[in-house]
Amino acid sequence: MPLYQPNLTTPVLEQFSLQGKTALVTGGSRGIGRQVVQALAEAGADVAFTYRTAEDAEQTAASIAQQTNKRIAAYHLDVTKRVDVLETFERIAKEFGNGRLDVVVANAGVCQNVPSLDYEEENWAYVNDVNYTGVMWTAAAAGKIFKRQGRGNLVITASVSANLVNVPQTQAGYNASKAAVVQLAKSLAVEWTDFARVNCVSPGYIMTEMLTRQPEDLQKLWLSQIPAKRICRPEELRGLYVFLASDAACYMTGSNIIIDGGYTLP
Ligand code: NDP
């Protein structure tokens, strides 16, 4: 089947609407994921999100539901566990989406600084199990549902680290995991053209806990290297995720969109 083509006479702003859609965001409890949940709901979708450690996930869901007047639900999930991911996605589709999931955002991720010669099974697995394997299980669970319903849309949070090596150069595992998901997304985009679009968002430095946990001198150094001269707020990514999730991006698949204030240009 050819890639889905929406009604081309729909006015352009209406093409961004997610009214009537059901979305699922992994790692939606804070940071970038939380903003994506809010953005998809503001665009009209009912949104389920997953969390792993957050104790306030239910309150987060209630707060976004109140602000957007959409159905928002939080589900516990560790994306590294394949069977749990498959079962949780099916459960969410059944009990939250009336059997459907239109949009899935594979966003959960972790970062750590480890000199490459110090890698052991444990710390190598810590990053790659979430950022790479976790995205594969997320994609697989989403893809099964998309194939069954004949249509779906996967957006993956990658990183500019897929393409560059930043100081302190002790993030080889993180960088490799992000490069891997960009290539994974391209492969799935080609394999799934009959029933789904697959795209990546690659942010630069975004003001979330992942960044603020880094040493202050590093944060200052990174700031000095950004042509935009400021760190991006997670709210500033919202439009891009809505775009990719919507029919406005109907011909985009296999893309990797960088949003970094010019960081990767010099
Ligand atoms: P945060 O640390 O703020 O949030 C990470 C999210 O991932 C949380 O919701 C967390 O859940 C969830 N999570 C972590 N591990 C697991 C797991 N095993 N299973 C399920 N969920 C998990 O990070 P950001 O918001 O900054 O990062 C979001 C994504 O953006 C990541 O993929 C990251 O690599 C990417 N990114 C971030 C950049 C930045 O500068 N911040 C730059 C480029 C990319 P919980 O809260 O329950 O623990």
Q: Give the DSSP per-residue string, 20-65.
A: T-EEEETT-SSHHHHHHHHHHHHTT-EEEEEESS-S-HHHHHHHHH
Give the Å distance between the CA of 33 and the centre of ligand 1: 7
**Residue 231 lies in domain:** 12-246
Tell me what pLDDT residue 251 has. 97
Tell me what pLDDT residue 55 has. 97
| Domain annotation covers residue 1 | no
Residue nearest to atom 32 of ligand 1 (CA): 109
Q: Which of 126-135, 160-169, 180-189, 224-233 has the lowest mean pLDDT?
A: 160-169
Instruction: Name the residues annotated as catalytic.
Output: 159, 174, 178
Counting from 1 in the atom list of ligand 1, the atom nearest the Cα of 206 is 40
| Domain annotation covers residue 260 | no
Q: Select from 206, 212, 221 the residue to mutate for testing ligand 1; criterion: most ligand atoms less than 8 Å from CB.
A: 206
Q: Select from 110, 201, 223, 235 the residue to mutate for testing ligand 1; criterion: most ligand atoms less than 8 Å from CB.
A: 110
* Partners of 50 in the β-ladder: 75
Per the structure, the count of domains in the chain is: 1
Give the Å distance between the CA of 64 and the centre of ligand 1: 19
| Domain annotation covers residue 7 | no
CATH number at residue 105: 3.40.50.720
Residue 107, SS3 per DSSP: coil
| Domain annotation covers residue 264 | no
Q: Residue 2: is its pLDDT beyond 80? A: yes
| Domain annotation covers residue 256 | no
| Domain annotation covers residue 178 | yes
| Domain annotation covers residue 257 | no
Tell me what pLDDT residue 166 has. 85
- For the entire predicted model, the pTM comes to 0.98
Residue given tokens 């594969």 in the structure block: 136
ipTM of the complex: 0.99
Q: Residue 168: is its pLDDT beyond 80? A: no
- How confident is the model over 218-244, as pLDDT tens digits? 899 999 999 999 999 999 999 999 999
Average model confidence (pLDDT) across the chain: 97
